[in-house]
Structure 1
């Protein structure tokens, strides 16, 4: 999830755990506690970009990190608030829950989360909810603001705590059901059209959970498309993108290329933009692909011009967006403009 959502949800959980014992500081402690795993951003200050991509949501999002950091943060919390009736065990439980919620939620996005680092480099990604979904984030943000403004002794506070925690859980369950339906429908379509594939995933399109981005293929290439929960049965337009793996033959052993292949979990294509060789990670979708099915992929990494790769994960998410593109996304999300 995005950092603001983690902070807001963490604030609500902090209020639930520490409430009147620590006053409104519970909101701050909760937000900071759930933000701890994202301390891995400091890796970017000295790591090459390709290594930084793997470091993010790596060790600091692992079960081992959770086990190691929880008692240290609990000791810090008790030391700073020694005068309050909060036991070390409660501090331990508080930090453990906050950090566990963070790394658990990140597993529902498409980036990949290294729960088993450093023992296994396997990345977990359930591809169930977009990294910044306003329908998930609105409730904890609203609740955190309300808890900040409402007096500490107000009887309304428990309502806002429940709203900020329970509604995101309900929405995550709803998103999971949507995922199951999209997967069932998509696999049926692939089977009927006799499209061969050894790798497959679906993940939500930006800012919603009704329009889903679909990728299915193998070492030769990938079929890419978008399907809405409201599309007619059997409707799914695919565009085919050849993998063109042979373009990497002369540089395949380069550490940068190895990192990118590992990061992409094999969902990649290679192509040329003019004189530059470009590595596409398909997991992050296409720039306005619901409107232009031949558009570039969000994650496109210039192998010969590394200086052009700043914010490589973010730069294409909302490129070329305007009112027309936003309306096109809305129309596709509600099942309009679908085609085979």
Structure 2
């Protein structure tokens, strides 16, 4: 999740555990602890692909954060012994361990058990979701105004946690909705990713991929009985195979579970993570190789410039969430003409 959300979560937990003893200042401690795992973004791993795929790595591992909680609890106990070591340990452990667990609910991927296994991604909440964050911020604000209002912090945490539960249940409902349409279109055995569209859990995006094709479905809880519309995107397996042995390609395939779109642009072979953002606005594209005189030269995984943010898409997205706009084409982030499809 975004840094504001992680800080709000850390502050809420710290206030609930130690607010009655340490007062308002404990919110700052919790907020700083809550953002500590994300400081790995300051590390340069040597290439854009490495930085992309190793973020949420060791600093988000339970195997690292659990012993770190012990160390920090001991330091905090020496700083302010009135709380007691056990309470400090409860505070540091809860704040640090809930950070990667929350990140796991997003699509990016969190290496929760680094160095073992692949990144985990439940993909039931968007990386920024106001409905999750606002109860936490409201609880913190109430506590700042009235430090005795610990119950408000608890209520904020309860509401935000309940929202995570709702997001997971909603994801299962949408998955069951799209599976028959995908099966009818020949995608019954395809890799499937179901995740919310930006900033909400009402409108969802289902992405299914095979070696030859990718299909996208946008559907929401306010669509009524509207039929599902499938939007097709061709894939280029020959292009993917041409760079398959490059270490950057293998790393991206591992990190994204194959949800990549390979393209050629001005002699460059690129791979785009199609899980993040939406078509036309995917933020992570990497140059894998360059074609020179019929030969491929390693592009070292440099990141291509991000597409400019399309402000005109925001009202369209809101209209699609509410059902006022029945169809939103992902290929161009536009609505089709009456009687036409994407």
Q: Provide, for residues 231-286 of structure 1, a one-character-per-residue CA deviation record: whole Å limited to 9, x for no partner.
A: 24462222222221321444332222222222221111211233332212111142
Measure the CA separation in 2 of the matches of 1:21 and 1:140.
Answer: 20
Q: Distance in 1 between matches of 2:127 and 2:269?
A: 28
Q: Distance in 2 between matches of 1:109 and 1:11?
A: 21
Q: CA deviation at 1:168?
A: 0.5
Rate the CA distance shift 1:332–1:151 in 2: closer, same or farther, 3 A.
closer
* Equivalent in 116, 119, 123 of residue 116 of structure 2: 119
Aligned pairs, how many?
319
Structure 1 residue runs of 5 or longer lacking an equivalent are 288-294
Partner of 1:302: 287
Partners of 1:68 and 1:146 in 2: CA distance: 32
Using the size of structure 2 for normalisation, the TM-score is 0.86
**Deviation, structure 1 residue 151:** 4.1
The structural deviation recorded for 1:99 is: 1.4
Q: Which residue of 1 aligns with 2:198?
A: 206
1:155-209 deviation line (CA, Å, top 9, x unaligned): xx12421232111012112212211111110112222444344200111111111
1:319 aligns with 2:318: no
Aligned partner of residue 119 in structure 2, secondary structure? coil
Q: Which position in structure 2 is the counterpart of 1:55?
A: 54
CA contact (8 A) 1:8 1:141 kept: yes
What is the distance in 1 between the residues matched to 2:275 and 2:207? Answer: 8
CA contact (8 A) 1:197 1:216 kept: no
For the residues of structure 1 that align with 2:178 and 2:193, how far apart are their CA atoms? Answer: 10
Distance 1:254 1:307, change over 3 A: closer
Quickly say closer, same or farther: Cα 1:163–1:238, change in 2 above 3 A: same
Task: Name the stretch that deviates more: 20-29 or 237-246.
Answer: 237-246
Give the TM-score taking structure 1 as reference length.
0.86
Aligned to 2:67: 68
Distance across 2 between alignment mates of 1:222 and 1:230: 25
Q: Is the 8 A contact 2:15 2:150 kept in 1?
A: no
Cα distance in 2 between the residues matched to 1:139 and 1:50: 35
Aligned residues: CA RMSD: 2.2
- Number of the residue aligned with 1:95: 92
Unaligned runs of 5+ in 2: 291-298, 328-340
SS at 1:200 equivalent: strand
- Once the two structures are TM-superposed, the CA of residue 49 in structure 1 deviates from its matched residue by 1.3
